[in-house]
Structure 1
Amino acid sequence: MSMVERFESITLSRKRVHHILQNFKKSSQQLGDDRNAIRIVEDKGKKLVVKSFKIPNAVNKLAYRFLRDSKAKRSYENAVYLQQHNIGTPAPLAYLERVDTLSFKDSYYISEYAEHDYTYRELINDNTIENKEEVLKAFTAFMFKMHEAHIYFLDHSPGNTLIKKVGDSYEFFLVDLNRMKFYDIPYEDRLKNFERLSPKKWMYDIMGAEYARLSGKDPAESIATMWSYTQKFQEKYHRKKRFKKKLKSIFS
């Protein structure tokens, strides 16, 4: 079966993307512990990030071949959309995917590397980080701006926001972008979009009050709603974790 490449880039040629992917295979600079391979690649004096998505199962191979956009394509297009609306994300450079006549094979997303000081997850757990209240208020303003641009980030987990201190302010960069919705977001949906970020109530006291202030809403109600969604998410998450652990013990 003949192989076909589907490719898009504003700045890179196909030949250069192939060169970057060759270096990706040689790179030992792994990022994160992910089911997808994510590595830093040095290219012409710049640090790039290449994400190779896990090869899908048989059903999704057909779906990505004929019915749905791949995760690589969605990551690239969503990053372009974020940049067009001045929402921080590592600069998108290209995506490339390979298909044959009947099936989807593999896919890659390439972006610049965003220098950062820590992630939102570290903000939760690292007690040496200073001015956490100011960081959370700035982050909430970032979320408000994103929602005003009709962007709902479905994978809004703590590892997917990079944070950089610049002078007396903070910049935020979203990563892992393949799952987003774009619509006029109702207020309750906006509060729900915070549910995966932290298990700590004090953080929601700050974020809920700040989001209410920016929105002209009641702070107490906003905090209560935000925290209620978070508690439901945490309960579901831990229930699923316990179930997986039980299955593992049964079949081990």
Structure 2
Amino acid sequence: MKKVLHSDYISLQNKFDFLLKNFKSSGELIGSEKRNVIKVFEIDGFNVNIKSFKKPNLINSLIYGYIRKSKAQRSFEYAQVLLSKNIGTPQPFAFYENKTITGLKDSYYFSLQQDVDLMFRNLIFEPDYPNRDEIIKQSAAFFFKIHNQGIEFIDNTAGNTLIKKVDENKYEFYLVDLNRMNFHDSLSLEKRIKNIAKLTTDSYINSKFSEAYAPLFGLSETDFYNMLMEASQTFLDKFNRRKKLKKQLKFWKK
């Protein structure tokens, strides 16, 4: 088993080993087990989030074993990049990989279980969420900061931005599910729009988001909003087509 720990947390290796040894039989399950398995464990007064990535098929096992970095390794490394740029993400602790001659078998990402109050998706499904407009405004500023540093967060969906209230009118933002990111010297308006469009097709949220983001970029709110709504609908259409295709493939496999 390959083990790589953050330099500040090397002393916890034995405890991390113990948690992984008992991963299947203990810990608090977060979400479903359809793809990846995420569990939370308490050690030394804080909570450790361990993400067990879905076992890759034979081809991907070879690719992640010999050609590409595993999802766990990328999550660990990208988290450190974000923190170095003062962008919120749960503190990374370590990643573990189990490889054989046929490639990658298992991989795990250890990080802090971040204490938060909501996810961006709460703003979509709870129209009466307290201070909703202000949170959307600050979300826009958060993503503008990310984009200005050339960061393209591929899995920028509504469940991957965590939000914590730190004051009456101040919020902190944290990105999770980091294994797919691109880093550019700069990010074009088109890439920015496409990235934001993955969050929601909700016209009200996109309107408020545009009000905050467009002036920062130097574009009219109307133009930004129209581009965002078109891009979000395009993304939704592509998502639905992929979902339909997967169902058809599963049907024919049966």
In the superposition, the TM-score normalised over structure 1's length comes to 0.92
Paired position in structure 1 for 2:172: 171
Distance 1:49 1:23 in 2: 14
Asked whether the 8 Å contact 2:163–2:173 carries over to 1, the reply is: yes
1:192-245 alpha-carbon deviations (Å, 9 max, x no partner) = 111111121111111122111111122211111111110101112223334445
3-state SS of 2:77 partner: helix
3-state SS of 1:12 partner: helix
Paired position in structure 2 for 1:229: 231
Distance 1:87 1:137 in 2: 17
**C-alpha displacement of 1:104:** 1.3
Distance 2:226 2:144 in 1: 18
**C-alpha displacement of 1:75:** 0.2
**C-alpha displacement of 1:20:** 2.8
Asked whether the 8 Å contact 2:160–2:175 carries over to 1, the reply is: yes
Matched, 1:10 2:7: yes
1:20/1:225 CA distance change after superposition, 3 Å: same
Equivalent residues, number: 249
Distance 1:74 1:251 in 2: 32
Matched, 1:146 2:143: no
Matched, 1:188 2:185: no
Letter in 2 for 1:97: E
Distance 1:241 1:68 in 2: 26
**C-alpha displacement of 1:71:** 0.1
Distance 1:27 1:122 in 2: 29
3-state SS of 1:48 partner: strand
Paired position in structure 2 for 1:81: 81
Paired position in structure 2 for 1:24: 23
1:61/1:194 CA distance change after superposition, 3 Å: same
Asked whether the 8 Å contact 1:161–1:172 carries over to 2, the reply is: yes
Paired position in structure 1 for 2:70: 70
**C-alpha displacement of 1:11:** 2.5
Paired position in structure 2 for 1:240: 242
In the superposition, the TM-score normalised over structure 2's length comes to 0.91
Distance 2:242 2:67 in 1: 30
**C-alpha displacement of 1:250:** 6.9
Letter in 2 for 1:119: M
Q: CA RMSD in A?
A: 1.8
**C-alpha displacement of 1:175:** 0.6
Paired position in structure 2 for 1:57: 57
3-state SS of 2:55 partner: coil
5+ long unaligned stretches in structure 1: none
Asked whether the 8 Å contact 1:144–1:214 carries over to 2, the reply is: yes
Paired position in structure 2 for 1:102: 102
**C-alpha displacement of 1:124:** 0.6
